[in-house]
Amino acid sequence: MWQAAFHDLLGQGIFNSDGDTWVLQRKTAALEFTTRTLRQAMARWANRIIKNRLWTILADHGDAGASVDLQDLLLRLTFDNICGLTFGKDPETLSPGLPENPFANAFDSATEATLQRFLFPSFLWRVKKALGVGSERSLRESLAVVDRYLTEAIAARKATPSDDLLSRFMKKRDGKGRAFPDDVLSWIALNFVLAGRDTSSVALSWFFWMIMQRRDVERKVLQEIASVLRDTRGGYDDDTGKWTDEPLDFDELDRLVYLKAALAETLRLYPSVPQDSKYVVADDVLPDGTVVPAGSAITYSIYSVGRMESIWGKDCAEFRPERWLSGDGTRFEQPKDAYRFVAFNGGPRTCLGKDLAYLQMKSIASAVLLRHSLELVPGHKVEQKMSLTLFMKNGLQVHVMPRDLAAYAAPPRQGPVVIPTTTAAAA
């Protein structure tokens, strides 16, 4: 059912395929995603957008005293970033005035219409598709816009190859030594856009919401950023602005261990994809003795797993980044059981873009916190939206204020500053 429902949008891309088709795309993509050059390209695209547009937009809202929907800004930023990395083309949806973009709007509409297929019996959406009515008509019209954009992007990359993902896949060959046809390239590109846009922006929205409630965690993140910048950029001088004239670069971001822990803790409590399904290929028995026959499907709640006391302990509801750090706090440590934390899936289908996602999130989070302090708009209600991705239903309305770095500029005089940990439920 999952593959049939998503076929019109994702085709036989890596998220909607199995068997030999999936293996070929997985192997091809794995060769690219493990390269340092791709991670550096991600950092360059993100930093360019942050420096030239995000910082300006946030500062303008701060000067005007107006609130802004941070979730919307983050969705625009990650969309521009992943399109740049995938197509080598920046749609500039994150620009002053927050312009509408036909491809971005069509992509959102197509995703929303596809979601409708899961809310009703499959025969119903198939009938609506045959008749061309309702959400199926919207899906068809949106996909036409998406297809035109992808066709133009592929043509542009064939004419002028670059170092983007699309150009890299154009150089690859399938199992029979043939170049990927245009429709397969479209599926591959669109799957990457889907994976790289919503997931990171939604995780960042929940991260900023959490640290607005946990200023002790925010202070620790800022202390870590300041410690790295003292090493790489020297002493802080508010007049020169050398700490805040450029976002953190690739090597600086790699040193932000506590920030990565805080992001992982956010994903534990608020996974971007809150549930997943698996298809049973052969009769099997689950560890608890449940028999699952071939042909059945298993849906499990990633959201619930992250909040289970039997897995995470009595403090499972607490937002505590320290659970991801080594004893001395210097290293990020994954759980020994890879299936304990499945926000990035697990096993053979573990997300290839996991490291890129952390890199993008660290780049954006550090850049925002370095220059700006955020306050939730009084009375704004934060709640989850029923969707394939854990969006905030009402967005994230915040007031933006300039950051005073004076408290973090000077190194600690007597060892590290110890901030008492407060217990605050994250739910």
Residues forming beta bridges with residue 292, ordered by sequence position: 284
Ordered per-residue pLDDT tens for the chain, 427 residues:
556 667 777 776 565 566 666 676 677 677 666 678 888 888 889 999 999 999 999 999 988 889 999 999 999 999 999 999 888 888 999 999 999 999 989 988 988 888 888 777 888 889 999 999 999 999 999 999 999 998 999 999 989 888 788 888 888 777 777 888 888 888 888 888 887 888 999 999 999 999 999 999 999 999 999 999 999 999 887 777 789 999 999 999 999 999 999 999 999 999 999 998 888 989 999 988 999 999 988 889 999 999 999 999 999 999 999 999 999 989 999 888 888 999 998 888 888 889 989 999 999 999 999 999 999 999 999 999 978 889 999 999 999 999 988 888 877 665 444 443 433 333 3
What is the pTM assigned to this prediction?
0.89
pLDDT digits (tens, 9 = 90+) for 48-73: 999 999 999 999 998 888 999 999 99
Six token digits for residue 193: 């856009």
Q: What CA–CA distance (Å, rounded) separates 1 from 3?
A: 6
Q: Is 282 left (phi over 0), alpha (psi -120 to 50) or beta?
A: beta
Q: What CA–CA distance (Å, rounded) separates 155 from 150?
A: 8
Under DSSP, the state recorded for 117 is: T
Six token digits for residue 264: 């992982």
Domain ranges of the chain: 2-406
The answer to whether 351 is a known ligand-binding residue is: yes
DSSP string, 69-115: EHHHHHHHHHHHHHHHHHHS-----SSTT----HHHHHHHHHHHHHH
Q: What CA–CA distance (Å, rounded) separates 90 from 49?
A: 9
pLDDT digits (tens, 9 = 90+) for 331-378: 999 888 888 999 998 888 888 889 989 999 999 999 999 999 999 999
In this structure, which CATH number among 3.40.630.10, 1.10.630.10, 1.10.260.40, 3.40.50.620 belongs to the domain 2-406? 1.10.630.10
- Let me know: does 140 contact 113? Beta carbons within 8 Å: no
Q: What CA–CA distance (Å, rounded) separates 146 from 91?
A: 13
Six token digits for residue 297: 């499907």
